[in-house]
Amino acid sequence: MVFGEAELFERAAHLFTAGEPVACAAHDLYAWAVARQVSRPTPVDFPVRKLYRPAVLLDPVQARHVRELARMGARVRITPSEISETLIFGERAAILAGDRSSGERSYSVVTRPDVVRGVTSLFDAAWRSATDLAVFEARFAEVRPLAPRILDMLASGCKDETAAKTLGLSLRTYRRRVAELMAVLGAESRFQAGVRARDFGLV
């Protein structure tokens, strides 16, 4: 167990330069500052998989970086599901991020082969159910122009039929767009979608 980014960097930076397959699950690009300190803006020459939550695409700076990662050869997928923030280095080691509730974040660095295999198995399951970046962005591109107006409709409390008519959409299309927007925001309810939309500056 290590505490804080500085200690993690001191203890684990060498793992990033080993040239072995890397798998990363993170809510956004700010989750792993240690990875940013040792990352290089050059094409990757070993397998890299990056799994992010949709919020990473709502910030233009993060979205550009994620697209650049994909352009350089990393495989990037997006998942609306909750994920444990994790770094996996081949079959050698894994780092599990703790929460920030107590201030400085803690990290569990594991090297036992059976534990690393277990963590990798969980990551692989999340990876299989996630969506490739290009596919997710294509869906998001259709939703984003309508997002503020849909969120206004949701906030007004009007019925779906009224909202669909106001937006010039069929009821089925409106409901599909609402579901897609909720997925992008990682929201489980329409109320939560409104809260997260404010957090992300969409409204």
Q: What is the 3-state secondary structure (H, E, C) of 168-188?
A: CCCHHHHHHHHHHHHHHHCCC
The pair of three-digit structure tokens given for residue 60, joined into one six-digit string: 């233009």
63 φ/ψ angles, rounded to the nearest 5 degrees:
-60, -40
Residues 35 and 93 grouped into a single domain: yes
Given 129, 149, 174, the domain boundary residue is 129
User: Looking at the predicted structure, is the pLDDT value of residue 34 above 60?
Assistant: no
Tell me, what's the pLDDT at 128? Answer: 94
20-24, 34-38, 129-133, 173-177: segment of lowest average pLDDT? 34-38
Helix (H) or strand (E) run with residue 155 in it: helix 147-156
Residues 121 and 145 grouped into a single domain: no
The pair of three-digit structure tokens given for residue 63, joined into one six-digit string: 């979205």
Residues 113 and 167 grouped into a single domain: no
Structural domain count of the chain = 2
Residues 28 and 93 grouped into a single domain: yes
Given 83, 110, 129, the domain boundary residue is 129
Tell me which residue range forms the domain holding 161. 138-199
User: Looking at the predicted structure, is the pLDDT value of residue 117 above 90?
Assistant: yes
What is the model's pTM? 0.73
How much is the mean pLDDT over the chain? 81
For residue 100, give the CATH number of its domain: 3.30.870.10
Rounded distance between C-alpha atoms, residue 140 and residue 73, angstroms? 22
DSSP state of 64: H
Residues 162 and 101 grouped into a single domain: no
The pair of three-digit structure tokens given for residue 41, joined into one six-digit string: 């803006």
